[in-house]
Amino acid sequence: MDFAMNTIERAAIEKFLEILQRTWRGRAITVNILDSSRLPSVDHAWMKEFLLECAETLEHQRNNNSANANSENAGQYVIEDVAEGHGTRRRVHLRRCRQQALPEDGACELANSMSARSFYMFMLNEKYKDSLQDVPTILPLTPTSTPRRAEEYRGNLVDVMSNPDWHKPDAVIGRPLQSPANCWLTSGQFKPLSDGPRYETDLATQTRDELGLVNLVKGQLLLRLTISAGCLAAIEGNESARPIFCDGGNSRFRVHDPSEPAAVYATDGWGATFHLGKFAVGATDNMTGRSERVFTSLPLEHLPALKVELLGEIGETPERPANCKDDDEEFFKALLAGRTESDINERLTEFLREL
């Protein structure tokens, strides 16, 4: 089959990328597109088809006066739509950089972290939410701010977990949508981080920062859900991959990390999170966080040994300067990793010519 790209197709993709680069976050995604193209497990013919579908989908949405298509973030919205099968061709494009990554004996722990609000909304059985039923509502949607709220929540969580039917029958770890989605996990097979700010006993803030969870803010309670890698073998059809540009993630996701710790992760098929704490205190040569991979959303009914623990309340990053600038623009600059924006665009143009 001939995958060579003609002039019209290349022009459509170039126009889409120009629209994508109108925001700092869109520029960051463009860097991740280029860096994804350099991974040995990423198929270039597939990338051509994906970017073409993005261009077609954006044009289709604009012709139908979609609100998102006319926003300044149109490019990133389209990438999310196309990746999850909502583009013009209705193909799902998640988990494309597949490599063997887990120990064959399954002897390591995998973890996902989420806010107490997400845990309440997407995991918990309805009987713990409705005060009109026999079981009282002992885990609130948004815990009130009191000196003892974490201790109270932790005790109530133990009560909930003592019931084998504590979770919804259809609950999953991963984005709880009917459409295809990813579950993001980090692995316990690597050494703990030894650099970055000193968090002392603030495990919640440390975990948020190490995992790059920029969407979680000060004052939220953070939970960690832990499973054994061996459990995944029992989940039929589960896919696992190193995350790339089309796998979503938050606004602090990056594909290429030049540090030595990230190279260790990559050798075993894992990506690296972006450490918010190192970023906030002005680190420049190593902003590597924890290992990360994407999986098909994991049904809780197949995770009998799931462990849920409260890490505490998220606070401020230690040593964070008052004039810290760590917004989308600064993140884009960090993503360049010694390159210039002109370098990125030139190399991207070369890549498109090769398709």
pLDDT tens, position by position, 281-299: 988 789 999 999 999 999 9
Asked if residue 309 and residue 332 are part of one domain, the reply reads no
Whether residue 1 lies inside any domain: the answer is no
| Type and span of the H or E element at 299 | strand 298-299
Whether residue 25 lies inside any domain: the answer is yes
80 by DSSP, 3-state: which?
A: helix
Place 126 in a pLDDT band, splitting at 50, 70 and 90. Answer: confident
* Residue of 133 and 42 predicted with greater confidence: 42
Across all residues in the chain, what is the average pLDDT? 90
Whether residue 101 lies inside any domain: the answer is no
Whether residue 223 lies inside any domain: the answer is yes
110 by DSSP, 3-state: which?
A: strand
Pair of tokens at residue 149: 């709220």
User: Any bridge partners for residue 112, and if so which?
Assistant: 225
Place 179 in a pLDDT band, splitting at 50, 70 and 90. Answer: low
Asked if residue 343 and residue 299 are part of one domain, the reply reads no
Whether residue 136 lies inside any domain: the answer is yes
- % residues pLDDT > 70 (the chain): 93
Please tell me the predicted confidence (pLDDT) of residue 95.
95
Place 103 in a pLDDT band, splitting at 50, 70 and 90. Answer: low
Whether residue 103 lies inside any domain: the answer is no
Asked if residue 141 and residue 44 are part of one domain, the reply reads no
Please tell me the predicted confidence (pLDDT) of residue 1.
43
**Alpha carbon distance 100, 185 (integer Å):** 15
- For the chain, the C-alpha Rg in angstroms (whole number) is 21
Whether residue 228 lies inside any domain: the answer is yes
Asked if residue 273 and residue 184 are part of one domain, the reply reads yes
Q: Reply yes or no on whether the pLDDT at 109 is more than 90.
A: yes
Asked if residue 119 and residue 57 are part of one domain, the reply reads no
Most confident of 171-180, 234-243, 264-273: 264-273
Whether residue 260 lies inside any domain: the answer is yes
pLDDT tens digits along 235-244: 888 889 999 9
- % residues pLDDT > 90 (the chain): 69
Asked if residue 254 and residue 232 are part of one domain, the reply reads yes
Q: How many domains does the chain have?
A: 2
Asked if residue 242 and residue 193 are part of one domain, the reply reads yes
Asked if residue 340 and residue 284 are part of one domain, the reply reads no
Place 314 in a pLDDT band, splitting at 50, 70 and 90. Answer: very high
Asked if residue 276 and residue 331 are part of one domain, the reply reads no
Asked if residue 268 and residue 171 are part of one domain, the reply reads yes
Asked if residue 127 and residue 85 are part of one domain, the reply reads no
Structural domain boundaries enclosing 70: 7-93+327-354
- Crossing angle of helices 74-83 and 24-37, in 10° steps, is 40
Ranking 18-27, 81-90, 129-138, 305-314 by mean pLDDT, the lowest is: 129-138
Asked if residue 345 and residue 265 are part of one domain, the reply reads no
